[in-house]
A and B are shown apart, each in its own frame.
Chain A
Amino acid sequence: MSDMSDMTESATTRGRTQHLLYILPVLVFGALAAVIAYFMLSGRDPRLLPSALIDQPAPEFKLPPIEGWEGRKPGLATGDLRGAVTVVNFFASWCVPCLAEHPQIMALSKMEGVRVVGINHKDRPAAAKDWLTRHGDPYARIGADSGRAAIEWGVYGMPETFILDKTGRIRFKHVGVVRRETLKETILPIIRKLRK
């Protein structure tokens, strides 16, 4: 065969590059598998979307109070978010996980040095008022949102909770239920840091 006569110097160097080429597939696969394994072991939820608003000032918005509670609980606007560390919590009476995290939000509202405000998202006023009366009202102010405020805040699911610093910049966002562990391990340390 004509190939057999190819036992020259150039053939061996070619042979070496060829050998290198044969290893390429397994190396590429190994790298890919390592990356995927790392991702899976890190425990990150691939469905969670990081916020695009971190370190940005809070969006410009002005929400009315819940209908019927105009005298009792003021609405919420961007200006109300400055001056103290603020927790902004999106909630609704139809949102089942919101109920699950409510004890933690109540606990936050009793803390010194942090102000908790709520945005009532796409809710019926009667249902919202009833829910708050029954389960407790941790919010210093509540803005009634028909949907646009949620988009301004980049909200895509319920509930979502934001932590703002004293200048009104968004420093942290949590998507989903604020569990007791989340409160203790993540949210409280951030609030303490921002209070300084």
Chain B
Amino acid sequence: MIAEVGHFALILAALMALVQGTLPLVGAARGEAPLMALAKPAAQAQFLLIAVAFGALTYAYVVSDFSIANVAQNSHSAKPLLYKITGVWGNHEGSMLLWVLILALFGAALASFGRNLPPSLHARALGVQGLIGIAFLAFLLFSSNPFERLVPAPPDGSGLNPLLQDPGLAFHPPFLYLGYVGFSMAFSFAIAALLEGRVDPAWARWVRPWTLAAWSCLTVGIALGSWWAYYELGWGGWWFWDPVENASFMPWIAGAALLHSAIVVEKRGTLKSWTVLLAIIVFSLSLVGTFLVRSGVLTSVHAFATDPARGLFILGILVLTIGGSLTLYAWRAPQLRATGTFRPVSREGALVLNNLLLTVAAATVFIGTLYPLVLDAVGGGKISVGAPYFNATFIPIMTPLVIAMAIGPMLAWKRGDLWAALGRLKLALAAAVGVVALSLWLDGTRDLLAAMGMALAAWLFAGVALELAGRIKLGRAPIADSLRRAAGLPRAAYGMTVAHMGFAVVIAGVTASSAWQTESIRIMKPGEMTTLAGYDFRFLGVKAGRGPNYASQFGSFAVSRGGRPVATLVAEKRFYPVQRRQTTEAAIHTTWLSDLYAVIGEADKSGGWSVRLYHNPLVPWIWIGAIIMFAGGTISLSDRRHRVGAPRRARPAALAGSAPAKA
């Protein structure tokens, strides 16, 4: 009964999306307000209906209703409740339902909070959201129905992949989808602007908060996936340039570019057609990502369904959406006229450089990810494009970007003085050089590239701090003055500072953990001790245990340093009888500056166990940096200037004749 309610709600939602996707667009073209006004209730209704459907599916999982095929295939009565719920989106159909739910959520949010937008732009943006909704709801209903019944209902389900029964991975999809489905807003705004035939600087003001929200969530989503891989897969790796990792990384890179180019549109009224194209590209990359995961054309750990029919359906959606939007772009974009100029050496120029490098970086990841497929398709044989390729191409592109990131904010708008900016960064340069020296001195392997990576992180961090210090005239004015300036700074300034600092922290973490990981792989008998990175690990032996739906073996290590105890690491191996799968749970102790990581392997015949111990320096900084970036994005979002429709204060009657200013 509940499943039928859910299914029916989904059908109704598709009808709502149909209304939302057609009538407001017609209304905007004809200037008919009543048709345009349909967008808001349609969007809100669509969201509520999909929420009902999602709730129905969740309920079915929670009560373990195995008469529904999706639940029977992906759940099991012995699964803990949390994983029953998160299992809703741990499969193809359920995750598609989450996808359209978040799409509708953004649509409804735009409907409710977009009051200060010009009606035709508002209606058009909602209309485009509706069109995307129709496409994916059709995909759900016709090829991936989560509510299909299974007759007769099996007594129990097939369980869930034990790898997915995990907190990190459970929350990875929602954040990921908030991110790259959230980019649909930028896309809808871009299409709406093309349909309107113009891009006002105010358009950028409206696009930025939505893009920032989506990008911030995507940052967390990617970090969660990476963190999960790190603690789950058993050897401390956290990024593999796997096609599906790349599928979420490309929109992140392009989204970052979009955030920055929108600034130039807002400030200078230029770079309009580029920003519109970028907004289309960012969401197109999201769609390509959705396609890659679900079509089976690329082999990957992540691949959900490898059903070619579904893959072709999504490809069809891509052709219509991306092809249609790019055609509209080719037709309408030439009409967009720039209204301002700037010197090449200026903050705008730096933002253009930012876009140049980020776009090429995204394109590089794109080329590397799709090349094997394209080459195979044209009969060129099968090749692999793995981490060595991406490291050789991606890093050299990002390096000048990081250098420029410290310089850019020091440049003035419209016309900047490069030497003055560099002069103000002397301390940052000193910090970078100092870090190189320190790295080379501390590091036995004298890894120059690693030292330079750390130097880049220091350069960026110090440069950003110096920029903030300069703004509040720290050291050049009385401290009270500086504090007052600091209090008066717009939150977006802090947002930028915090986000850029977070990025620096991530760079440091990435560099150190890649270059300076140490490991010890050996057989240990209970009672034996080994030393790694200055820490002593004493193996205490293995005990058996059990969990709600698995059996375990626990291997413990007592870790000490210089005689003083540091931690007890308990590594686990789990066996899930239903799935006949084994997973390893690494024991991780974090000192916030590094991680101690222990995994137990197989027992050998003489009572010893194969054991893997790792010391991962600065790995926690990767996740911390991502959270800091998220915080920066959130701080920026809280800036009232960024909110769509900041309140307008009452104006005295004498000024009634003056043009109303948009806040």
A residues with CB within 8 A of B: 1-3, 15, 18-19, 22-23, 25-26, 29-30, 32-33, 35-44, 46-47, 49-50
Within 8 A of A (CB), among B308-364: 308, 311-312, 315, 318-319, 322-323, 326-327, 329-330, 333-334, 337-339, 341
Contact of A18 (CB < 8 Å), options: B296, B334, B374, B377: B334
Contact of B377 (CB < 8 Å), options: A25, A39, A50: A39
With both chains docked as a complex, state the minimum distance between the C-beta of A112 and any C-beta of chain B, in angstroms.
Answer: 36
Q: Do B323 and A26 touch across chains, with their CB atoms under 8 A apart?
A: yes
On chain B, the residues within 8 Å of A23 by CB distance are 330
Given contacts A29-B323, A46-B373, whether A40 and B297 have CB atoms under 8 Å apart is yes
On chain B, the residues within 8 Å of A47 by CB distance are 299
* A–B complex contacts, Cβ < 8 Å, 20 sampled: A22-B273, A23-B330, A25-B277, A25-B281, A26-B327, A26-B329, A29-B326, A33-B315, A35-B374, A35-B377, A35-B378, A36-B373, A36-B374, A37-B312, A37-B315, A39-B297, A40-B295, A40-B312, A40-B315, A43-B308
CA distance in complex: A37, B374 (Å): 11
For residue B481, CB closer than 8 A to chain A, the reply is: no
| Given A25-B280, A35-B377, 8 additional A-B pairs, CB 8 A | A3-B338, A26-B330, A32-B374, A33-B318, A33-B323, A39-B376, A39-B377, A46-B298
What count of chain B residues pass the 8 Å CB interface test? 36
Q: Do A1 and B339 touch across chains, with their CB atoms under 8 A apart?
A: yes
With both chains docked as a complex, state the minimum distance between the C-beta of B295 and any C-beta of chain A, in angstroms.
Answer: 7
CA distance in complex: A50, B327 (Å): 38
Q: Do B376 and A46 touch across chains, with their CB atoms under 8 A apart?
A: yes
On chain A, the residues within 8 Å of B330 by CB distance are 22-23, 25-26
On chain A, the residues within 8 Å of B377 by CB distance are 35-36, 38-39, 42
On chain B, the residues within 8 Å of A29 by CB distance are 284, 322-323, 326
For residue B532, CB closer than 8 A to chain A, the reply is: no
Q: Do A22 and B333 touch across chains, with their CB atoms under 8 A apart?
A: yes
B residues with CB within 8 A of A: 273, 277, 280-281, 284, 295-299, 308, 311-312, 315, 318-319, 322-323, 326-327, 329-330, 333-334, 337-339, 341, 370, 373-374, 376-378, 381-382
With both chains docked as a complex, state the minimum distance between the C-beta of B183 and any C-beta of chain A, in angstroms.
Answer: 17
Contact of A25 (CB < 8 Å), options: B311, B318, B329, B373: B329
On chain B, the residues within 8 Å of A18 by CB distance are 334
* Candidate in A15, A33, A42 with the most chain B CB atoms within 10 angstroms: A33
Q: Do A40 and B326 touch across chains, with their CB atoms under 8 A apart?
A: no
Q: Do B370 and A50 touch across chains, with their CB atoms under 8 A apart?
A: no
With both chains docked as a complex, state the minimum distance between the C-beta of B195 and any C-beta of chain A, in angstroms.
Answer: 16
CA distance in complex: A18, B336 (Å): 12
Contact of B297 (CB < 8 Å), options: A1, A30, A46: A46
CA distance in complex: A35, B374 (Å): 7
On chain A, the residues within 8 Å of B311 by CB distance are 40
Given contacts A39-B377, A40-B315, whether A30 and B323 have CB atoms under 8 Å apart is yes
On chain B, the residues within 8 Å of A43 by CB distance are 308
Given contacts A1-B339, A22-B333, A25-B329, whether A46 and B374 have CB atoms under 8 Å apart is no
* Number of A-B residue pairs at CB separation under 8 A: 72
On chain B, the residues within 8 Å of A15 by CB distance are 334
With both chains docked as a complex, state the minimum distance between the C-beta of B388 and any C-beta of chain A, in angstroms.
Answer: 20
On chain B, the residues within 8 Å of A40 by CB distance are 295, 297, 308, 311-312, 315
On chain B, the residues within 8 Å of A35 by CB distance are 374, 377-378
On chain A, the residues within 8 Å of B333 by CB distance are 22
Closest to B284 in A: A29
Q: Do A25 and B374 touch across chains, with their CB atoms under 8 A apart?
A: no
Q: Do A26 and B326 touch across chains, with their CB atoms under 8 A apart?
A: yes
* Candidate in B281, B284, B308, B326 with the most chain A CB atoms within 10 angstroms: B326
CA distance in complex: A36, B370 (Å): 10
Given contacts A25-B277, A30-B323, whether A36 and B334 have CB atoms under 8 Å apart is no
CA distance in complex: A30, B327 (Å): 10
Closest to A23 in B: B330
On chain B, the residues within 8 Å of A41 by CB distance are 312
On chain A, the residues within 8 Å of B378 by CB distance are 35
CA distance in complex: A50, B376 (Å): 11
CA distance in complex: A44, B323 (Å): 25
With both chains docked as a complex, state the minimum distance between the C-beta of A145 and any C-beta of chain B, in angstroms.
Answer: 23
CA distance in complex: A40, B315 (Å): 10
CA distance in complex: A41, B327 (Å): 25
CA distance in complex: A2, B333 (Å): 20
On chain A, the residues within 8 Å of B341 by CB distance are 2
Given contacts A3-B338, A36-B297, A36-B377, whether A25 and B326 have CB atoms under 8 Å apart is yes
CA distance in complex: A126, B341 (Å): 83
CA distance in complex: A22, B373 (Å): 26
Closest to A30 in B: B323
With both chains docked as a complex, state the minimum distance between the C-beta of B385 and any C-beta of chain A, in angstroms.
Answer: 14
Q: Do B322 and A46 touch across chains, with their CB atoms under 8 A apart?
A: no
CA distance in complex: A41, B312 (Å): 8
* Candidate in B295, B315, B377, B378 with the most chain A CB atoms within 10 angstroms: B377
CA distance in complex: A36, B376 (Å): 10
CA distance in complex: A14, B377 (Å): 37
On chain A, the residues within 8 Å of B338 by CB distance are 3
CA distance in complex: A46, B370 (Å): 13
Closest to A37 in B: B315
Contact of A50 (CB < 8 Å), options: B298, B374, B381: B381
Contact of B382 (CB < 8 Å), options: A1, A42, A50: A50
Closest to A48 in B: B382
CA distance in complex: A41, B311 (Å): 10
On chain B, the residues within 8 Å of A2 by CB distance are 341
On chain A, the residues within 8 Å of B296 by CB distance are 46
CA distance in complex: A180, B67 (Å): 36
On chain B, the residues within 8 Å of A25 by CB distance are 277, 280-281, 326, 329-330
On chain B, the residues within 8 Å of A36 by CB distance are 297, 315, 373-374, 377
CA distance in complex: A26, B330 (Å): 8
Closest to B324 in A: A26
CA distance in complex: A100, B382 (Å): 28
Q: Do A22 and B334 touch across chains, with their CB atoms under 8 A apart?
A: yes
Given contacts A39-B297, A39-B376, A40-B315, whether A32 and B370 have CB atoms under 8 Å apart is yes
CA distance in complex: A43, B307 (Å): 11
With both chains docked as a complex, state the minimum distance between the C-beta of A4 and any C-beta of chain B, in angstroms.
Answer: 9
Closest to A28 in B: B326
CA distance in complex: A30, B323 (Å): 7
With both chains docked as a complex, state the minimum distance between the C-beta of B636 and any C-beta of chain A, in angstroms.
Answer: 29
With both chains docked as a complex, state the minimum distance between the C-beta of B257 and any C-beta of chain A, in angstroms.
Answer: 15
